[in-house]
């Protein structure tokens, strides 16, 4: 019927001028507009804009090319290795002899680079490691790669908290605390 065909006409789902964020937490893989998940200030503060790449995704049996930041259990990955730079990337992850250790090293690398970011913001990033909402998709570049891992978030948070405490610990805070107790 006519009205049905109008309603069935698909609007473009993914726009060329939009930056998306893919939460690749296999078996759960979701996409949404990046600024809907994290606001632009957080995206900038986490340095995620430098991880934008073109990814091929499959949504309802349709393939699309999107400009997106891909977070592999929270770890941003660029598609290809950059010579002489130690930036987490899909190429190295695929070729790693131990993908779990590559992921852990990548997350430590990320957290040490974000050691000036406030802890409550970091929690927002780490929460994305278990994000299971948005639009379910497949990412063609990562299909059939057996990339399921079971990251231990408490270890990562502990590492970040230690770095934070190492950076901020100050004898005068203790001195003032002792005075307040009197």
Question: Shortest Cβ distance from residue 82 to other proteins (Å)?
Answer: 11
Query: How far is CA 80 from each of CA 54, 86, 88, 140, rounded to the nearest angstrom?
Result: 11, 11, 9, 15
Out of 33, 129, 157, 159, the residue judged to bind other proteins by CB under 8 A: 159
The residues in 34-93 that bind other proteins, with binding defined as CB under 8 A, are 81, 86, 88, 92
Note whether 47 and 88 are within 8 A (CB). Answer: no
Out of 15, 18, 28, 112, the residue judged to bind other proteins by CB under 8 A: 112
Opening angle at CA 87, ends 82 and 88, nearest 5: 110
Q: Does 105 bind other proteins (CB under 8 A)?
A: yes
Chain centre distance of CA 33: 13
The stretch near other proteins (CB under 8 A) out of 17-25, 31-39, 60-68, 104-112 is 104-112
Q: Does 166 bind other proteins (CB under 8 A)?
A: yes
Binding site for other proteins (CB under 8 A): 81, 86, 88, 92, 95-98, 101-102, 104-106, 108-109, 112, 155, 158-159, 162-163, 165-166, 169, 171, 174-175, 177-179, 182
């Amino acid at each position: 019927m006519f009205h049905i065909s109008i309603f069935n006409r698909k609007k473009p789902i993914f726009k060329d001028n939009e930056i998306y964020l893919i939460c690749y937490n296999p078996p759960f893989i979701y996409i949404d507009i990046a600024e809907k998940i994290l606001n632009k200030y957080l995206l900038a503060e986490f340095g995620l804009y430098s991880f934008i790449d073109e990814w091929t995704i499959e949504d309802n049996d349709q393939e699309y090319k999107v400009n997106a930041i891909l977070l592999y259990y929270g770890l941003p990955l660029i598609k290809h290795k950059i010579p002489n730079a130690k930036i987490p990337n899909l190429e190295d992850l695929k070729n790693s002899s131990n993908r779990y250790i590559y992921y852990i090293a990548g997350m430590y690398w990320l957290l040490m680079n974000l050691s000036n970011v406030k802890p409550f913001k970091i929690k927002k990033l780490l929460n994305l490691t278990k994000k299971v909402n948005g639009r379910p998709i497949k990412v063609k570049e990562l299909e059939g790669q057996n990339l399921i891992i079971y990251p231990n978030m408490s270890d990562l948070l502990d590492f970040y908290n230690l770095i934070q405490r190492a950076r901020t610990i100050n004898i005068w805070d203790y001195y003032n605390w002792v005075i307040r107790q009197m």
